[in-house]
């Protein structure tokens, strides 16, 4: 990871904005898919793919790359957009999302898009796979491995016992190279998480499984980067970054509304969203105006 200068922070924020625009473009074209989660995670994906990750988009099978496991596969528009902007595949291909024959399947499938680490969609299975990767790396490289396994999860899927099983195993094995990031946006399909199934006290749960827990503002690029630095510095435990995010972030009309969990914008809504994103919320003039 390079030093995070003020210029780099600005560049990452602009990347996040590009990713958000692509998400709206993709969902409008696909006419189905999820809006709130992808927009809310754009800052984290920008920071990962353009700052934190050790990876080479031109050589996606590079052996020493960090691994990214997206557990909540339904937010794949943000993953696809980040990967395309990073150079894994052409940005134009994003508009094939969810179309017949597209490499960008409705939920990620690594056989269609081999640069993905895993296929995902059914919730709560990502952490187990990430734990398996970290265990395998520990067998091969020992406990000083610098290869990091990132697992991105939603807060809703934390309700599943499968997450608890994987969380306990990672804590038991002190997987220092495992970094979890939870999108704590407080919504799921049926409503607010604390109404559907309360997760709080959430930090305590992860601490109880012997994880190092870091709470951050998931839209603050410096926070995100610092948290990853801190996670890498903790040797005796896996780290969980609980990223508080605003679902639908970047488009005022979509923000904090769980109704936007699982539907795409229509034409008018997409235009409104893109206008807002292209002017950075009215801060600058859009080139399209």
Partner 1 sequence: MINSNAKLNTKLFDADVEQVPIRKGFGEGLLAVGEADQNIVGLCADLTESTQMIFFKEKFPERFIEIGVAEQNLAGVASGMAAMGKIPFVSSYAMFSPGRNWEQIRTTICYNNQPVKIVGSHAGVSVGPDGGTHQAIEDIAIMRVIPRMVVISPCDSIEAKKATIAAAKNNTPVYIRLAREKTPVITTIDTPFEIGKAQVFFESEKPRVTIIATGALVYKALTAAKKLDGEGVGSIVINLATIKPLDEKTILDAVLKTGKVVTVEEHQVAGGLGSAIAELLAQRHPAHQEFVGVKDQFGQTGTMEELWEHFNMGEQGIIDAVKKVIARM
| Binding footprint of partner 1 on the chain (CB under 8 A) | 67, 69, 109-111, 117-122, 125, 127-137, 139-140, 161-162, 165-166, 168-169
Q: Which is nearer to partner 1, 10 or 110 (CB)?
A: 110
Q: Which is nearer to partner 1, 143 or 257 (CB)?
A: 143
Report the helix count and the strand count for the chain, using DSSP H and E: 10, 7
Shortest spacing between CB 97 and partner 1, in angstroms? 19
Q: Is-contact 71 123, C-beta < 8 A?
A: yes
Shortest spacing between CB 281 and partner 1, in angstroms? 39
Closest CA to 85 of 117, 47, 118: 47
Shortest spacing between CB 215 and partner 1, in angstroms? 25
Q: Which is nearer to partner 1, 135 or 280 (CB)?
A: 135
Q: Which is nearer to partner 1, 14 or 136 (CB)?
A: 136
**216 vs 152: CA distance, rounded Å:** 14
Neighbouring CB atoms inside 10 A of 65's CB total 18
Q: Which is nearer to partner 1, 119 or 154 (CB)?
A: 119
How do strand 212-217 and strand 239-244 relate by DSSP bridges?
parallel
Shortest spacing between CB 172 and partner 1, in angstroms? 8
Residue ranges with strand state E in 102-195: 149-154, 178-184, 187-188, 191-192
**181 vs 149: CA distance, rounded Å:** 11
- Point out which residues pair with 201 in neighbouring strands: none
Shortest spacing between CB 62 and partner 1, in angstroms? 13
**228 vs 44: CA distance, rounded Å:** 11
Shortest spacing between CB 11 and partner 1, in angstroms? 32
> Which helix or strand (DSSP H or E) is residue 9 part of?
helix 6-30
Q: Which is nearer to partner 1, 133 or 182 (CB)?
A: 133
Residue ranges with strand state E in 116-208: 149-154, 178-184, 187-188, 191-192
């Amino acid at each position: 990871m390079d030093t995070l200068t003020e210029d780099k922070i600005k560049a990452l924020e602009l990347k996040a904005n590009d990713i958000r625009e692509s998400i709206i473009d993709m969902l409008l074209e696909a006419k189905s898919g999820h809006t709130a989660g992808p927009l809310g995670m754009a800052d984290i994906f920008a920071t990962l793919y353009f700052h934190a990750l050790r990876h080479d988009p031109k050589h996606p099978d590079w052996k020493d790359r960090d691994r990214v496991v997206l557990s909540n596969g339904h937010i794949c528009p943000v993953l696809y957009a980040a990967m395309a902007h990073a150079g894994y595949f052409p940005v134009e291909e994003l508009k094939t999302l969810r179309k017949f024959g597209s490499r960008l399947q409705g939920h990620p499938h690594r056989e269609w898009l081999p640069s993905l680490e895993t296929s995902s969609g059914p919730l709560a299975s990502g952490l187990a796979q990430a734990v398996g990767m970290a265990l395998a790396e520990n067998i091969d490289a020992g406990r000083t491995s610098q290869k990091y396994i990132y697992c991105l999860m939603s807060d809703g899927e934390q309700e599943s016992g499968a997450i608890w099983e994987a969380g306990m195993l990672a804590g038991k094995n002190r997987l220092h190279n495992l970094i979890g990031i939870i999108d704590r946006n407080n919504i799921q399909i049926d409503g607010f998480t604390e109404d559907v199934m309360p997760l709080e006290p959430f930090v305590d749960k992860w601490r109880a499984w012997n994880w190092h827990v870091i709470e951050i503002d998931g839209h603050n690029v410096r926070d995100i980067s610092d948290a990853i630095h801190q996670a890498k510095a903790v040797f005796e435990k896996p780290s969980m970054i609980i990223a508080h995010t605003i679902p639908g972030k970047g488009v005022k009309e979509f923000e904090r509304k769980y109704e936007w969990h699982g539907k795409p914008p229509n034409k008018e809504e997409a235009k409104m969203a893109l206008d807002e994103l292209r002017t950075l919320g009215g801060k600058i003039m859009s080139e399209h105006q």
